[in-house]
Amino acid sequence: MRGPVDPESRRRLLRMAWQGTGAAIALAAMPGLATAGPRPRLGRDPFTLGIAAGDPDPQGAVLWTRLAPDPLNGGGMPSRAVSVRWFVAEDPGMRRLVQRGVAAAAPELAHSVHVEVNGLRPGRDYYYRFACDGDEESAVGHFRTAPLLDMQLQQLRLALCTCQAWNSGYYPVLRDIAQSDVDLVLHAGDYLYEYSPLQNARGRTLDAERFSGETVSLQRYRDQYALYKLDPDLQAAHAAHAFAVIWDDHEVQNDYSGIHPEKPGVSTEDFIVRRAAAYRAFYEHLPMRSAPTGNGGLRVHRRLRYGDLAQLTLLDCRQFRPANPCGVGESPRCDAALDPRMSMLGAGQEAWFAQSMAAAQGTRWNVVVQQLLMAQLRLDGGTPRERFWNDAWDGYPAARKRLLQALQAGGQGNAIVLGGDWHSSFVNDLKLDFDAANAPVVATEFIAPAISSGGDDTPYGPYYGPSIPQNPHIRYFDGDRRGWWKLQLNRQTVDAELRFADSVLRADAPVRTAARFQLAHGRPGALPV
């Protein structure tokens, strides 16, 4: 059973769980390592997992790859660091090189590479690739740097997506994103699912010994990421655009909270070790600027700025939260959830969020990217069966109110909240008091449907649909289809386009526009167009 862990024991457990990571980062940073010795011959393509760019700023971005010539068998790399060359150019043919260098892929980090490129020009398209093993080269990727902070930007195009369970189906949604002209892809979490993929909608046969049961160990998390990253449409989306990724729960375990596992019978000590392994694997497989810390944590909350047009504040709604005050799953609201001391983000991140809102002053749009449904959703509202989903912001209403008050303090009517998790599409009005019909709208919320999770099944429309009329702040709901949001931020408006795949049981399924909304600056509340 879950038991209490004193702070010192917790710190010791986290250090043990993360043992070796700090050494790996230091090893990868040693300047002499990257050029020492002859280039190794790996025998097979080491870039099977693709490439990625992330978190662009006015001077560059993070470039990522992981060497894995045998990706579903532990990676197939030698137990030593390997030199990887990287190149950045102004053209897709990689002829007009502007930067190049060498990085070390260390075994302690699964031979992943994170290159933080600086010194590029703002608001420009760049292309990149990696090379190693003699003449072995990766595919060519593309990213666009952000404009200077004080630039009067006219337009920003964002993709919002989430929830890509590999076992549920294919990724036509990601293929559609790859083929779209966007500046940045925002992935709101559940990039990976911890469940066994042996039973899958793709008809794929996998190693039963390697992939049986729920993902718990570091090696299994690495294998699970490798399985996902092998998908050609996921690779195409990463190669086409820079991503900014946050996690939700399934990158570790369904509905976990902080150091508290979802399931009873698992000790806090064991879960801390598991969580540290999951966080480490997350870093190893994504273009993140922040490296793992020595105590098993990983900083996911951060800010991105696009001139004077938009600030993007990315939140972490998992790592620092206490156990759900009203329990796991659905229940009536309990008094503990109303305790003003209850936090979803943790005190440190809440203070940082307040600073981020102050930094957003002067931008046309203040965009908050997080994992969950922030709007209230009363299930069977007004009846004796009324209840709320405790894993979302409904389980932390006092914390939600503080966050919305911080958004309201900006006073510009320009706040947008983006989220995922629910395998459904929502457009919502966010209010300090959802039960007061005349309460002012503080922000507009767009919730992305799943990329693939749930397959072509339609459980959420029938389940949540009857409760939607009891929640008049919900302007749009679809619980039956998989897709993504395309958001175009302009000086005076935000144009939102919701695109759905016909099916995720076919990799080549068409993706079509199903709905459009427009949000006017200074007037919260999106309207259908």
Q: What is the pLDDT of residue 33?
A: 31
Distance from C-alpha of 109 to C-alpha of 46, rounded to nearest angstrom:
15
**Integer angstrom CA distances of residue 231 from 164, 221, 234, 237:** 11, 16, 5, 10
Distance CA 143, CA 162 (A): 20
Look at the pTM and tell me if it is higher than 0.95: no
**pLDDT value of residue 5:** 42
CB 407 within 8 A of CB 428: no
pLDDT at residue 295, rounded to an integer: 86
230-253: pLDDT as tens digits: 999 999 999 999 999 999 999 999
- The alpha carbon of 40 is separated from its chain's Cα centroid by a whole number of angstroms, namely 34
Q: Which pair of tokens denotes residue 214?
A: 């729920």
Q: Quick one: pLDDT at residue 350?
A: 97
Q: Which residues of the chain have pLDDT under 50?
A: 1-39
The full DSSP string for 205-227 is: ---HHHH-S---SHHHHHHHHHH
pLDDT of residue 239: 99
SS (H, E, C) 395-412: HCHHHHHHHHHHHHHCCC
Q: Which helix (H) or strand (E) holds 350?
A: helix 347-359
Of 248, 246, 198, nearest to 220 by C-alpha is 198
* Residue that is written with structure tokens 């001077």 in the block: 59
Please, are residues 129 and 137 in contact by the beta-carbon 8 Å criterion? yes
Distance, CA of 225 to CA of 296 (rounded, Å): 19
Closest of 247, 170, 242, 61 to residue 453, by C-alpha: 170
Per-residue model confidence (pLDDT) at position 519: 98
CA neighbor of 229 nearest in space, from 424, 461, 50: 50
CA neighbor of 315 nearest in space, from 303, 327, 324, 325? 303
Phi/psi class of residue 427: alpha, beta or left (left: φ > 0; alpha: ψ in -120 to 50)? beta
| pLDDT per position as a tens digit, 128-147 | 999 997 789 999 999 999 99
Please report the DSSP string for 466-495 in residue order: GGGGG-TTEEEEE-S--EEEEEEEESSEEE
Structural domains for the chain: 31-143 (2.60.40.380), 147-528 (3.60.21.70)
pLDDT at res. 4: 39
Cβ–Cβ under 8 Å, residues 476 and 427: yes
Q: What's residue 42's pLDDT? A: 65
